[in-house]
Amino acid sequence: MTLTDPRIARLVTLIRIALHPPAGTARIALALGLGALCHILFAAGVLAMIVAMFFGLSESFGNVPWPWAALTNAALILQFPLAHSLLLTGPGGRLLARLIPGPHGQTLATTTYAIIASAQLLALFALWTPSGIVWWRADGAVFWAVTAAYATSWLILLKATFDAGAEVQSGALGWMSLLARVRPVFPDMPTQGLFRLIRQPIYVAFALTLWTVPVWTPDQLALAVSFTVYCLLAPRLKERRFAARYGDRFDRYRADVPYVLPRLTQAKDRPDAQ
């Protein structure tokens, strides 16, 4: 990773323009206000997920009586993948553009999407009602080994997010574009970094965080199974959008790079084989 990396250059350009925005008090206030809300919620949602899963969902603020808690927890699990996927469809995108009244809804769509997703994550992990059952808790050297694996999974997720375009994944593209009064320009189809190994590194890294926790409970198992299924199936919808947007270029990439499991050896018939 160097300073000439186009992903870094794109971020630097957006930041430079955003630090010297054209006049427009209401527009600037809207951009900065939604930007602050987006990143505060994003940080809170991710932190809630890291902490809650570290304890196997055995600690949270939910207090729904059982057996109703099972239905509430199931709803908390389902609401994230359902809304997360539906908002990426054509009708979902149009809805996102209308959620912010006025002329800037389309520009702010990525920020609005990140706000909703972050609020969903925060709700899931803060409002979960623990079962009170702990099957296994790592101890001693095993605890430190599993914790290291958990931290590594999050670092891989961070790397994959950056490779995909951090400004889009974090919601910064929308509010920074509005602040700079420019049309949002999405990053090109990701093919570098972890995307050279597999087509869906974000989903794979997300799944890894689910299975490397030092505490195992029925709660964590239900979450891990549900979200792993989501991580395996949801990218198919994403790849349909990429196929429509990039055409033959994505077809060649899909033929050359595996879905979720990297190749252990380089195939001899691949064009880049040495």
The answer to whether residue 1 is domain-embedded is no
Domain that holds residue 16: 6-256
Could you report the per-residue pLDDT of 157-207, keeping only the tens digit for each? 999 999 988 888 888 888 898 888 888 888 888 899 999 999 999 999 999
The answer to whether residue 270 is domain-embedded is no
| pLDDT-based confidence at residue 274 (cuts at 50, 70, 90) | very low
Determine the pLDDT at residue 273. Answer: 38
Stated pTM of the model: 0.83
The answer to whether residue 274 is domain-embedded is no
Smallest CA-to-CA distance from 59 within 189, 183, 253, 220 is with 220
Number of domains in the chain: 1
The answer to whether residue 269 is domain-embedded is no
The answer to whether residue 223 is domain-embedded is yes
| Percent of all residues in the chain with a pLDDT value above 70, rounded to a whole number | 88
Rounded to whole angstroms, how far apart are CA atoms 209 and 20? 39
The answer to whether residue 272 is domain-embedded is no
The answer to whether residue 264 is domain-embedded is no
Taking the CA atoms of residue 16, residue 20, residue 22 and residue 25 in that order, the dihedral angle to the nearest 10 degrees is 120
Question: Which of 17-31, 126-140, 171-185 is predicted with the least confidence, judged by mean pLDDT?
Answer: 17-31
b/e for 58-92, b at 16 or more Cβ within 10 A? bebebeeeeeebeebbeebbeebbebbeebeeeeb
